[in-house]
Structure 1
Amino acid sequence: MTTAKDIMHPGAQWLPAHETLDRAAQMMRDLNVGALPIADENERLCGILTDRDIVVGCVAMGHDPSQVKAGDMAKGTPRWIDADADVTEVLQMMKDHQIRRLPVIENKRLVGMISEADLARHLSDRQVAEFAERVYAP
């Protein structure tokens, strides 16, 4: 059985909700990622911040990224998957909620992230096509 832990990108890091968006952008640059999970003061997932969120939701709106907190950008119900979940559960969650990145949690700690690139590397062409159809369909 292939699990979330088998296909995830290990070593993901939290971005504390109190950090500013300019700090988030620096972390993304340093980690070479396009998204960071946002954590509250108890290290509980409260959202995911993308580079697009920073550009469209802050910069393009005329706001100063050094003044906007990551937690202010967290919207909706955060989704995550247990490290031991079967890959079919991963796909189902990502398809059902039309999400492209999924934090992987083990013992209440962030251990990795699953992105579209991870799916493409580890799944069959048919599985990837089904995922893309569901996530990108209008």
Structure 2
Amino acid sequence: MTTAKDIMHPGAHWIPKTETLEHAAMRMRDLHVGALPVSDEDERLCGIITDRDIVIKCVAEGRDASTCTAGDLCVGTPRWISANADADAVLSEMETHRIRRLPVIDENKRLVGMISEADLAKHLDEHQIAEFAQKVYAAS
């Protein structure tokens, strides 16, 4: 059985919710990623921000990325998956919530990896990928 741990890209990095978006953008650049999970003071997932979030919700609104924090952009309940969840559960979570990146959390509620579309493409069959694309990208 293929699990989230098998699919994920290990070694994902948190960014604290108190970190500025300027620093978040530099971290994304340095790590060559388009999203970072955001942690609270207890190092638990409280959100996820993307490079697009920084542009649309900060820069385009005339806000200062050197004072706006990652926590300022986190809204709603973050989605995540257990490292032991099977591939069907991963797809269901991503498809149901129409998300393209999914943090993977271990039994201690700590971040152990991220699953992206590229990770799905490497580990799942063509039928699963086609279904994912149709559900996530199709007009609602």
TMscore range, shorter length: over 0.9
Quote the RMSD (CA, aligned, Å): 0.7
Note the alpha carbon deviations across 1:2-35, whole angstroms, 9 max, x for none: 0000010000011100000000001101111000
How many Å separate the matches in 2 of 1:95 and 1:54?
24
How many Å separate the matches in 2 of 1:34 and 1:85?
24
Note the alpha carbon deviations across 1:49-73, whole angstroms, 9 max, x for none: 0000001111111111001010010
Aligned letter for 1:86?
A: D
SS at match of 2:119: helix
SS at match of 2:102: strand
Give the percent of matched residue pairs that are identical in Structure 1 and Structure 2.
69
The residue aligned with 2:134 is 133
In the TM superposition, what is the alpha-carbon distance from 1:77 to its structure 2 partner? 1.0
In the TM superposition, what is the alpha-carbon distance from 1:123 to its structure 2 partner? 0.7
In the TM superposition, what is the alpha-carbon distance from 1:94 to its structure 2 partner? 0.4
Equivalences for 1:1-138 in 2 at 5 Å?
1-106=1-106, 107-138=108-139
Structure 1: 5+ residue stretches without partners: none
In the TM superposition, what is the alpha-carbon distance from 1:108 to its structure 2 partner? 1.4
In the TM superposition, what is the alpha-carbon distance from 1:110 to its structure 2 partner? 0.4
Runs of 4+ in 1 over 3 A off after TM superposition: none
Structure 2: 5+ residue stretches without partners: none
Aligned letter for 2:111?
A: L
How many Å separate the matches in 2 of 1:137 and 1:18?
35
In the TM superposition, what is the alpha-carbon distance from 1:79 to its structure 2 partner? 0.7
How many Å separate the matches in 2 of 1:100 and 1:131?
10
Note the alpha carbon deviations across 1:58-105, whole angstroms, 9 max, x for none: 111111100101001001110100101001100000001111100000
SS at match of 2:36: strand
How many Å separate the matches in 2 of 1:13 and 1:28?
10
